[in-house]
Amino acid sequence: MPKLLLATHNKAKIEEYHLLLERIPYQLTTLAKKSITRVVAEDGTTYEENATLKATIYAKSSGLLTLADDSGLEVEALGGEPGPRAARYAGEGASDKDRIDYLLAKLAGIPWERRGALFRCVIAIATPEGKLELCQGQCEGIIALEPQGSYGFGYDPIFYLPTLDKTMAQLPLAIKNQYSHRARAAEKASVILKRLSRVTVK
């Protein structure tokens, strides 16, 4: 079975992908398992640029088909911020709590009806030869007034899903993977990966 490299050092994200991609005809491996310590700077201005940068660099250096993503949170009342800068919104080295506190402070006094937001994820799949395919998914919600829940990571504790009456962080992973932006992008990525596997076999 061919290998697919998950180009992330984020352990929580790796856990999600192992469930999201469990039915594809590839053996999943990680940067840690391949002893790849390099961290690719995500200095692009779009999700597509950052995902592409990571996928192509790691595919070339590892010699493996590689999947990388970039995701972010877009808040209506903040003109789409933080967007692709979601991980660095509160400054380099900030924790998830720091980022949440910073975002909530910027939304202080903003009424519920203007706290609409969406999570967006772009997945890039790159071959060692430089071929690239992109797909994306998104999930709409509302920024909660305060964090709730202990599952997930990032902004999950303040991303409220009206249809479920819960934040993303109140959802066990198996449930989150039915609704999240990453799940919707991964569903499209699975179609691409299955097609690529047939080409590889031939």
CA angle 149, 46, 12 (to 5 degrees): 30
Known catalytic membership, residue 70: yes
Annotated catalytic residue within 70, 96, 156, 165: 70
Cα distance between residue 10 and residue 173, in whole Å: 15
What backbone torsions phi and psi does residue 3 show, to the nearest 5 degrees?
-100, 150
Question: Left, alpha or beta for 60 (phi > 0: left; psi -120 to 50: alpha)?
Answer: alpha
**Token output for 88:** 């660095």
Q: What is the pairing mode between strands 3-6 and 116-126?
A: unpaired
Cα distance between residue 155 and residue 169, in whole Å: 8
**Token output for 120:** 């967006």
Max CA pair span of the chain: 59
Please answer whether residues 146 and 72 qualify as being in contact, where contact means their C-beta atoms are separated by less than 8 angstroms: no
Q: Per 3-state DSSP, what percentage of the chain is helix, strand, and coil (rounded to 5)?
A: 40, 25, 40
Question: Left, alpha or beta for 80 (phi > 0: left; psi -120 to 50: alpha)?
Answer: left
Catalytic center residues: 70
